[in-house]
Chain A
Amino acid sequence: MNWLTRLLSNRVDTASLDAPLRDALIRWQALLQPDLGKAHFETRYVVINTEATGLNLESDRLLAVGAVAIDGALLSPHDSYYARLDPDPATALTNLLTFSGAGPVVVFNAAFNRSMLEGALTEHLGITPEWAWLDLHWLLPALYDERIDRAARLGDWMKAFSIETFQRHHALGDAWAIAQLMLAAQSRALAEGLNTPRSLAELERTRRQLRRHG
């Protein structure tokens, strides 16, 4: 997947959207791709998490989105976003795109969260963002194998770091926990010479391949 150089090519079906949303989406699409070769502390990562009616991608639908930015390796409560899709999914998702900018985006368990989110974005906005996605589900066991040396659930990782959050299984509540795990991941990555988002993406790719072949 050559998302590093590919320019945005999606065209939004904007006809059905209100003018302010349309403008917001146009501004979002005009954003430049981030330089994935910059250091962590110069990068704004956006942790995105979803809350759905269930875990089945086919039959369940997205209820809410939560996002927390990690800017300069710090979590600020102000740099966060939460919205329920009802009653206005287009606005909720457009604001999420505006908040997230050009990424890179961090999730825990892309197989579910990314797919659920992309499904909703296609359905409501006709957009599939060309973000660089990082998945802590793969990255954490690669970086902190002394704590858990295999892919594990979010709850296990929270326990391993004694991380707490104000509400489990809430889009923002879990995003807050995932963001803290990302802080930890960043710090360990740095210590191991993985200084950039690109190097994290590389690590994740290797992990996935190992898993596939092993």
Chain B
Amino acid sequence: MIATAPEMLIGASSDFLKRFSPFNRMEPEALEFLTERAVLAFHGKGSEILTPDMGQPSHFHIVQRGKVQARQSGPASVTDYNTMTLGPGECFPIGAISAQRPSTNAYVAVEDSFVFQLPADDFLKLIQMSPVFHLFCTQYIASLLNQSRQQLQSTFSQRAAEQQSMTTQLGQLVKKVPVFVTPDSTIRAALEKMSEMRIGCMVVADAEHKPVGILTQSDLLPRVVLPEIDLKRPISDVMTQTPHVMSAAASAYDAALEMATHGVRHLLVIDSEGKLSGVVSERDLFTLQRISLRQIRASIEGASDVESLQRASRDIRQLALNLIAQGIGAEQLTQFISALNDALTRRIIDLALARHELYGIDYAWLAFGSEGRHEQTLSSDQDNGVIYVCPENTDGATLKQRLIAFAKEVNENLAECGFPLCKGNIMASNPELCLTLDEWKSRFGDWIREPDPQALLNASIFFDYRVLCGNERLGDQLRNWLNRTAKANTAFLRMMAVNALQVVPPLGRIRDFVLEDDGTIDLKKYGARLFVDVARILALRAGVASSSTVQRLRQAGAKMGMQADELSALIDGFHFIQLLRLRSQHLETEHDAPGDNRINPDDLNELDRRILKEAFRQARKLQLRLKLDYQL
């Protein structure tokens, strides 16, 4: 039977739409409903497809080819993008048509464009019919982000094949047919079998294959050899009774925890009926994932020298790779990296303290820049300083010398552990950065009073400080003073805003992205920094104590009356850029190339490109808010 013409054309539209999200995930009957009813229209370059004046939109549009620009019309508002360009597979107007209100944007074809259109009534039916489409429309960015994470997971799962994740089920780990003997077997028979099969332990199971005991190699010496047990006796006399068992559905992580808790090296894996399905050894898990969070933490805290900390530092990088493979998000990932790096730094400081007598001195170790914001990637160099109090009747110069000597050792050991020395000498061993509370205040005060370019640059690094170790209250006192002073000085904040707006998101009016000469985008300069710089200003204005960009946006944004969904869209955008940065660094360290922040958008898949575009739009939106606030 030959397909009819409508069937062929509907099939063609559906094949086309399946190249794009969310249509590729849409339920087959929903996609059919859509493609049966969608008709194709052409909009010549420059023609208006939908404007606010047209009232309630009569159609939902999906770009087939060409480019459509959404332009904010009417009085400028920060609730939407200024302009954004939509390409193939992208649709509009989602909000207006769902809410059955006129569009706030004007949609204009900026190239000759072919656009599918679906009657508004059918759009509403489609939302009812398709949970996937419904989700897509209501959580536009969120759903895309989630999907991208899943894709990321699958790319990494290949590379992580040999180091399968700790979420693997035990049932999948045990591949060999289980070897066991019955309780009445002689010890000799059991030992011969162990030797023959080259296994480290023998499971004892009853007639129904349910495990009743275990004998491991390490049991042999105390229980068999030394007591000179008669090998003709049954194995049940010497085995460990009630062995540790775990369900085949449990994860490798559960198994590791069980082994660690009970100090055993073997676990018996049983199926749902309690029958033996195999044995998992510590070594199996060890090869599965050499490093765990807990292990690294323990090894850092127990480290007695720099060499063992160097190993831990390498493990942190490896763990980060594994975590990405497990699909962990940028936020949690940076938190992990940050927490482990903090632990590492604290241990290095502890080790240094053993050689530098600082007892009774009121001081704190400060982290600046990305480390201060908890946003360290894997290639960050160290940015740190010291804040201290010089008690009365004390020789200030001597005290400072002692602190600097101590800081020097910490800086050098950090460098040994993979945190490169800061090229700009932003390090605690620099006398300029080992200051008392009052000196820091006066330093910060100078920059605020005279915001020349250098002062603004300094502010962007040092104002993101946090206390990593030592007396936290010193940091708090400085923060309170800083927020009060900056808030009172609007000229300074305005200069910060001017500075922050000098770099704009690399979104093209016609092309998707504005690239540098080598065809790449610097995601630090033209991505993360856009969010970081605005967040800092908002935090200073709103008196937010946190140094992290996300917290600053959340807390300051809430104070300034930004909508929750607007804020989470912003934060999602920031996280996505951070994730791309981390990902490119990981991929590069595999080749031992220096990590950098450049990505080529052509190397991204369609979905990631679109999310990146969206993330940049969020940055633009944030900048627009700043622009309006300071009338720049």
Contact = CB atoms under 8 A, between A and B. Distances in A.
Interface of A: 66-68, 73-78, 80-82, 84, 161-166, 172-173, 176, 180, 183-184, 186-188, 191
Contact of B40 (A75, A173, A187, A188): A75
Contact of A77 (B13, B42, B117): B13
A76 B10 CA distance: 9
User: What is the predominant secondary structure among interface residues of chain A facing chain B?
Assistant: mixed
B5 A172 contact: yes
Contacts of A78: 6, 36
Given A75-B39, A82-B4, A188 B12 contact: no
Contacts of A188: 44
Nearest to A77: B9
A80 B42 contact: no
B284 interface: no
Contacts of A176: 9, 12
The 8 closest A-B pairs by CB, nearest first: A77-B9, A82-B5, A183-B42, A166-B12, A80-B5, A75-B40, A187-B44, A74-B39
A191 B44 contact: yes
> Which of A77, A165, A176 has most B Cβ within 10 Å?
A77
Contact of A165 (B2, B12, B36): B12
A82 B8 CA distance: 9
Given A82-B8, A166-B15, A180-B40, A77 B114 contact: no
B114 A180 contact: yes
Nearest to B65: A162
A73 B35 contact: no
Contact of B8 (A67, A163, A172, A184): A172
27 contacts: A68-B9, A73-B41, A74-B39, A74-B41, A75-B39, A75-B41, A77-B6, A77-B35, A77-B36, A77-B39, A80-B6, A81-B5, A82-B2, A82-B8, A161-B112, A162-B65, A163-B114, A164-B16, A180-B40, A180-B114, A183-B40, A183-B42, A184-B44, A184-B112, A187-B43, A188-B44, A191-B44
Interface size class of B (residues with CB under 8 A): 20 to 34
Contacts of A161: 65, 112
B557 interface: no
Interface of B: 2, 4-6, 8-13, 15-16, 35-36, 38-44, 47, 65, 112, 114, 117
A79 to B, nearest CB: 8
A38 B114 CA distance: 24
Contacts of B5: 66-68, 80-82, 172
Given A77-B35, A161-B65, A166 B8 contact: yes
A164 B35 CA distance: 17
A95 to B, nearest CB: 11
Given A73-B41, A77-B38, 8 more contacts: A68-B9, A74-B41, A76-B39, A77-B9, A78-B36, A80-B6, A163-B114, A176-B12
A165 B16 CA distance: 10
A74 B2 CA distance: 26
A34 B46 CA distance: 31
Contacts of B16: 164
A77 B5 CA distance: 8
Contacts of A187: 42-44, 47, 112
A11 to B, nearest CB: 30
A68 B6 CA distance: 9
Contacts of B36: 77-78
A84 B5 CA distance: 11
Contacts of A77: 6, 9-10, 13, 35-36, 38-39
